[in-house]
A and B are shown apart, each in its own frame.
Chain A
């Protein structure tokens, strides 16, 4: 890792490039630039997750950490290129003092030419990520409503400001659940009459799942609090009987449905790196997320709220 003090965005780009040359591999197959907008307490985990998913998506990772206050108005950067950590390039940039609000001008010379740009707010995100100066660069903008103090309120904020290309990790976390639920309905053709979801407190994924089921099935969906972790059970009621999928340990789910024997299915919670890797697989807008998010306001609160 190289530590640079009191520099500009152009200097960082130069440092990355000369580091590449020193290693003898001036050209690289980077497929995108990932902009991480973070505070100091989340930057290390977020950067590490990005580095891990760079194994699947070789990319330039730019973590911008505004540090307002203090005496000096300077920009510092820690740079790492290639090596044991994976194929990516990483720069963690601290914007100190008055520079804290100028992340955008630092980022511009660092964007890889002609490749997609993804922006990720691992914790706190602006109300409208698409209209944020950093978000304006990005064709895909990733938030995480699970990190908010009031995730439900946060979902409503995301919904009000939604622009195609926005996405949220609370939605990404649902993919394995949605996959199994859809596979269950591949087998059972009688219509679902209602659905119930049990979910740990303050979990936005439960709300999104409820909205999605409501949207697809056009039935009443109720949410109730459970001990977690995450979503613990989903029951879909049909005339033949209940289709149920429940996971209490965060790893293996048991599945029961009328007319077929009970079985288990692997449904493990995933790391941030895995979630991010899924997000980066497709960079076109996720219309289903958009519709699901718009439906959140129609999802009744849990009995615990």
Chain B
């Protein structure tokens, strides 16, 4: 029976997650402490978690419930977005449990099962359990096997089971399919949530709103007016303490495979039939399927590895000197590729995707760069000091949009045109409304609302694009070095110069 207090017209009432317990594997990791735990608190603070809620930590630590609660408390204190409120913490802390054990030990999973029964009764979580695997992908098979064999994956009559995994979704097409077969043996597709924390749902919806809720952009959104599209994700930091994860994975697998290809799909896809998850996914799949990998991979891709240098006035070490990285590592920390899309809308418009660590600044953006005006009627006194028109979706920091166009310099005697920008920042117009990506992601998992999580098919299509490029790179051996604190290796500049274009400085 429908809840009589819920009315679709009642827009004030937020959707609150139903009673549920989150089982967190990998509680000592950075991600759990800096992102997942604070996001759960922020959700509670915003009143979006139900009274019947529990967090069950699982790790190889000799901790009691209180010790784990203290860990969560410290993580929340240092990293939560919203202010700390004692009453909210009290509500949350009542549902915190810890299970000590090894992932290989079946009896630990029996204890986990026992603990979940206990919280179902004591906290009223009603048998709804989400398993959050915040652990290296290599450990997924063993955890999934244990979950299955201990009977934890068995759905109660009225409850649900969900599993959350983080990117990377495999290392290539083959391993992605293996991972999927491990997962789908135990969970059905609608129970598997693939989270890419780079790609918040807000961002996705913001892009879709600009494209499909307005009349003034879509008519220009094709090869008649657009010259090229540059999608950039840059980090100013190195790999930090993530050597174990990063080495052997590299920039293309870490960022391009999901994040940049998803941004590309959202920027370039056709309008979905409607915003049902299934239809949005169909359009993204169609777009990814029409992507053309360059025939001459050497000419249209570039990679690099950061060398020692100076960044913002601070000396920094090179990738090979990072702790835990083998001195002969061939992992790339910068990757740039050119992709073409074989359809009527985009024929001839290159999409340049680049990502790297230790670049000039931390930024993620999609820059749509327009063609030059076909004719300039200004005559002899005309001074053109203007680049091409551009529409930029800034993803982070300062999420928003910039429109760049030429304007006359006031007062100058000559007809002098210079670039100006019109800026829109979400932070200016809707300050409080931007929840951290993880909050949306976790709430969607608890609500069972998967619209914008990539499906298995999209993951496979992305690997089909990357696999041939990665194979060629492997043959090329050591990636060229690039100076930390700049915008990547000279190969990247050469690659785009071959097309007669330049990279935008983000």
Give the segment of A104-112, A126-134, A220-228, A275-283 that binds chain B: A275-283
Contact (Cβ within 8 A) B121 A261 = yes
B422 nearest CB neighbor, chain A only = A27
**Assembled-state Cα–Cα distance A202/B471 (Å):** 75
Q: How many Å from the CB of A20 to the closest CB on chain B?
A: 14
**Assembled-state Cα–Cα distance A17/B426 (Å):** 23
Contact (Cβ within 8 A) A178 B5 = yes
Contact (Cβ within 8 A) B6 A182 = yes
**Assembled-state Cα–Cα distance A178/B47 (Å):** 11
Shortest 8 CB-CB distances between A and B: which pairs? A260-B124, A29-B428, A56-B432, A182-B5, A263-B51, A266-B87, A183-B16, A56-B431
**Which of B14, B90, B126 touches A187 (beta carbons < 8 Å)?**
B126
Contact (Cβ within 8 A) B7 A216 = yes
Which of A55, A185, A192, A265 is the most central at the interface, judged by chain B CB atoms within 10 Å of its CB?
A265
Q: How many Å from the CB of B225 to the closest CB on chain A?
A: 26
Would you call A40 an interface residue if the criterion is a C-beta within 8 Å of the partner chain's C-beta atoms? no
Q: How many Å from the CB of A69 to the closest CB on chain B?
A: 40
Q: How many Å from the CB of B202 to the closest CB on chain A?
A: 15
Would you call B219 an interface residue if the criterion is a C-beta within 8 Å of the partner chain's C-beta atoms? no
**Assembled-state Cα–Cα distance A26/B429 (Å):** 16
Would you call A149 an interface residue if the criterion is a C-beta within 8 Å of the partner chain's C-beta atoms? no
**Assembled-state Cα–Cα distance A43/B307 (Å):** 61
Q: How many Å from the CB of A219 to the closest CB on chain B?
A: 10
Which of B4, B19, B88 is the most central at the interface, judged by chain A CB atoms within 10 Å of its CB?
B4
In the complex, the number of residue pairs spanning A and B with C-beta atoms less than 8 Å apart equals 115
Would you call A44 an interface residue if the criterion is a C-beta within 8 Å of the partner chain's C-beta atoms? no
**Which of B12, B90, B124 touches A175 (beta carbons < 8 Å)?**
B12
Chain B residues lying within 8 Å of A252, measured Cβ to Cβ, are: 87, 90-91
> Considering only CB atoms and an 8 Å cut-off, how many residues of chain A contact the other chain?
45
Contact (Cβ within 8 A) B433 A189 = no
Chain B residues lying within 8 Å of A186, measured Cβ to Cβ, are: 3, 6, 16, 18, 50
Chain B residues lying within 8 Å of A288, measured Cβ to Cβ, are: 7, 9-10, 12
Q: How many Å from the CB of B432 to the closest CB on chain A?
A: 4
Would you call B11 an interface residue if the criterion is a C-beta within 8 Å of the partner chain's C-beta atoms? yes
**Assembled-state Cα–Cα distance A182/B50 (Å):** 11
Would you call A301 an interface residue if the criterion is a C-beta within 8 Å of the partner chain's C-beta atoms? no
Task: Mark contacts of A202-228 with chain B using CB atoms, 8 A cut-off: 1 yes-contact digit, 0 otherwise.
Answer: 000000000001001110000000000
Chain B residues lying within 8 Å of A189, measured Cβ to Cβ, are: 1
Contact (Cβ within 8 A) A179 B121 = no
Would you call B424 an interface residue if the criterion is a C-beta within 8 Å of the partner chain's C-beta atoms? yes
Q: How many Å from the CB of A178 to the closest CB on chain B?
A: 6
Say what secondary structure dominates the interface of chain A: mixed
Would you call B504 an interface residue if the criterion is a C-beta within 8 Å of the partner chain's C-beta atoms? no
Chain A residues lying within 8 Å of B290, measured Cβ to Cβ, are: none
Chain A residues lying within 8 Å of B90, measured Cβ to Cβ, are: 252, 264
**Which of A57, A185, A278 touches B3 (beta carbons < 8 Å)?**
A185
**Assembled-state Cα–Cα distance A185/B13 (Å):** 13
**Which of B4, B44, B432 touches A277 (beta carbons < 8 Å)?**
B432
**Assembled-state Cα–Cα distance A183/B3 (Å):** 9
Contact (Cβ within 8 A) A263 B432 = no
**Assembled-state Cα–Cα distance A263/B45 (Å):** 16
Would you call B123 an interface residue if the criterion is a C-beta within 8 Å of the partner chain's C-beta atoms? yes
8 Å CB interface, B362-382 against A: none
Q: How many Å from the CB of A239 to the closest CB on chain B?
A: 13
Contact (Cβ within 8 A) B50 A183 = yes
Q: Decide yes or no: A264 and B94 within 8 Å by CB, A29-B424, A217-B4 being known contacts.
A: yes
Would you call A66 an interface residue if the criterion is a C-beta within 8 Å of the partner chain's C-beta atoms? no
**Assembled-state Cα–Cα distance A231/B11 (Å):** 22
Contact (Cβ within 8 A) B429 A266 = no
**Assembled-state Cα–Cα distance A195/B322 (Å):** 65
Contact (Cβ within 8 A) A265 B51 = yes
Task: Mark contacts of B4-34 with chain A using CB atoms, 8 A cut-off: 1 yes-contact digit, 0 otherwise.
Answer: 1111011111101011000000000000000
Q: How many Å from the CB of B420 to the closest CB on chain A?
A: 11
**Which of A191, A216, A218, A286 touches B12 (beta carbons < 8 Å)?**
A286
Q: How many Å from the CB of A21 to the closest CB on chain B?
A: 14
Chain A residues lying within 8 Å of B13, measured Cβ to Cβ, are: 175, 178-179, 182
Contact (Cβ within 8 A) A187 B18 = yes
Would you call B85 an interface residue if the criterion is a C-beta within 8 Å of the partner chain's C-beta atoms? yes
A292 nearest CB neighbor, chain B only = B10
Chain A residues lying within 8 Å of B10, measured Cβ to Cβ, are: 178, 288
Chain A residues lying within 8 Å of B4, measured Cβ to Cβ, are: 185, 192, 216-218
Q: How many Å from the CB of B426 to the closest CB on chain A?
A: 10
8 Å CB interface, A233-292 against B: 251-252, 255, 259-261, 263-266, 268, 277-278, 281-282, 284, 286-288
**Which of B9, B52, B87 touches A263 (beta carbons < 8 Å)?**
B52
Q: How many Å from the CB of A277 to the closest CB on chain B?
A: 7
Chain A residues lying within 8 Å of B44, measured Cβ to Cβ, are: 266
Chain B residues lying within 8 Å of A182, measured Cβ to Cβ, are: 3, 5-6, 13, 16
Query: Given A181-B5, A288-B9, 18 other A-B contacts at CB below 8 A?
Result: A29-B424, A58-B431, A175-B12, A178-B10, A182-B13, A183-B50, A183-B51, A186-B6, A186-B50, A187-B50, A187-B52, A192-B4, A216-B4, A216-B7, A251-B87, A264-B51, A266-B47, A266-B85
**Assembled-state Cα–Cα distance A187/B10 (Å):** 19
**Assembled-state Cα–Cα distance A56/B94 (Å):** 32
Would you call A156 an interface residue if the criterion is a C-beta within 8 Å of the partner chain's C-beta atoms? no
Q: How many Å from the CB of A303 to the closest CB on chain B?
A: 25
Chain B residues lying within 8 Å of A216, measured Cβ to Cβ, are: 4-5, 7
8 Å CB interface, A160-187 against B: 175-176, 178-187
A28 nearest CB neighbor, chain B only = B428
Would you call B292 an interface residue if the criterion is a C-beta within 8 Å of the partner chain's C-beta atoms? no
Would you call A299 an interface residue if the criterion is a C-beta within 8 Å of the partner chain's C-beta atoms? no
Contact (Cβ within 8 A) B5 A217 = yes
Contact (Cβ within 8 A) B124 A287 = no
Chain B residues lying within 8 Å of A29, measured Cβ to Cβ, are: 424-425, 428-429
Would you call A87 an interface residue if the criterion is a C-beta within 8 Å of the partner chain's C-beta atoms? yes
Would you call A157 an interface residue if the criterion is a C-beta within 8 Å of the partner chain's C-beta atoms? no
Chain A residues lying within 8 Å of B347, measured Cβ to Cβ, are: none
Q: How many Å from the CB of B246 to the closest CB on chain A?
A: 38
8 Å CB interface, B35-61 against A: 44-45, 47, 50-52
